[in-house]
Structure 1
């Protein structure tokens, strides 16, 4: 029997695993408020916004938050692009919004694998990661605004694999969404880790928890689990299928 492939590269999403997703929420709200003001309307109803946001988080089914917000508060889903473009102007990751478990996790991976960012983010995220001391650990910068591809399309994942010089079976992707992280990565043969914070649901179902190879609430202790559990899990999955 052939040996299980070893993990040679770890790719990580940004919003949720690394930075608080409230940074994105704040940008969407500010953009929506500004567009409503231009229409002569008051600010977005915050409780209603949270209800929509929580519904998108629970569904994990490819529903666009910005499309939902445009439909509810701007009168038409067709204004999604307008909302998207304005959100980009306000989307940032301020100092202090890096999760405390991120630096220890990246330090534990350093020298053992190639580390990459694989995220739908603006170019400014690179400066945030530099400011917070993570840049020296990063070998592959798979930032959608720079590369030109967005998850869940396979192009961003295959770009990152080529940049790291590894096969899909030798890589793991860490993200906090099933629809844009776990499912497209698994479809290409990558191992997957689902981080249950940010845009992940507050109470994931058993069926949802069964989709990734590993599901975690924090990054604490994850580095060792990547090397001890994921190759075996991936091989067992292949045998079962």
Structure 2
């Protein structure tokens, strides 16, 4: 196998969902919403609606002076700074590189939105960084993966993709001949669709798999 791996960022290497909850906690404390208000915010996050509807519901519920779009801008300004790196990720990425792995980051989003989430020197552990919303295509479009391929100077086929989205990460990568590791976050694997080669609950479980597979090529 090839020692080349592409990682997703949000809810793979960093805890983006946890950052949303931390913003809700900050908001409820700053505006004295109380425990009931925080419960409403957390429940609103789980509703299968658009972000616009979510922010409108929050403004309506609490009578905020901001419009829904203004509150959403406040969120986007603060949220990236509340996202935390998953424990052990920098050390594990460093270990991969020590064992001869080439590494790439492929994340949907603009660089100015995603960079603040990449603390703990995270960007230093990659040979290639690709922020797709600054490019011509986003995952799962093949061109998003091809950009990484060209910049890394390493073919995708035979390499690995690690991510939490079955559609964007797993199906997109598998279509180009990559092996895949799905970071489930405890979710059950749905029936139908492309199956990942490996399923892990958190990304820390993915690194031993990669190191073990890579050892067979040394």
Give the TM-score, by structure 1 length: 0.64
Q: Partner residue of 1:220?
A: 204
State the alpha-carbon separation in 1 of the partners of residues 142 and 194 from structure 2.
22
Which of residues 7, 22, 46 is equivalent to 1:12? 7
SS in 2 for 1:115: strand
Q: What whole-Å deviation, never above 9, does each CA across 1:139-175 have from its counterpart, x for those lacking one?
A: 1011124334321222211111111112222321111
Determine if the alignment matches structure 1 residue 160 to structure 2 residue 148. yes
Q: What whole-Å deviation, never above 9, does each CA across 1:197-229 have from its counterpart, x for those lacking one?
A: 2xxxx4314637971111111233533422545
5+ residue gaps, structure 1, are 1-5, 31-41, 57-66, 76-81, 233-241
TM-align CA RMSD: 3.6
State the alpha-carbon separation in 2 of the partners of residues 127 and 114 from structure 1.
23
Determine if the alignment matches structure 1 residue 107 to structure 2 residue 94. yes
Q: Partner residue of 2:61?
A: none
Structure 1 runs (4+) greater than 6 angstroms displaced: 27-30
State the alpha-carbon separation in 2 of the partners of residues 226 and 209 from structure 1.
23
Q: What whole-Å deviation, never above 9, does each CA across 1:59-118 have from its counterpart, x for those lacking one?
A: xxxxxxxx633356649xxxxxx69x83644441447x1111212220221141211110
Alpha-carbon shift at residue 136 of structure 1 (Å): 2.4
Determine if the alignment matches structure 1 residue 178 to structure 2 residue 162. no
Which of residues 16, 27, 50 is equivalent to 1:21? 16
State the alpha-carbon separation in 1 of the partners of residues 175 and 24 from structure 2.
33
CA gap 1:44/1:217 in 2 versus in 1, 3 angstroms: closer
Give the TM-score, by structure 2 length: 0.70
CA gap 1:212/1:29 in 2 versus in 1, 3 angstroms: same
Larger relative contact order, structure 1 or 2 (CA cutoff 8 Å, min sep 6): 1
State the alpha-carbon separation in 1 of the partners of residues 21 and 116 from structure 2.
19
Q: Partner residue of 1:207?
A: 191
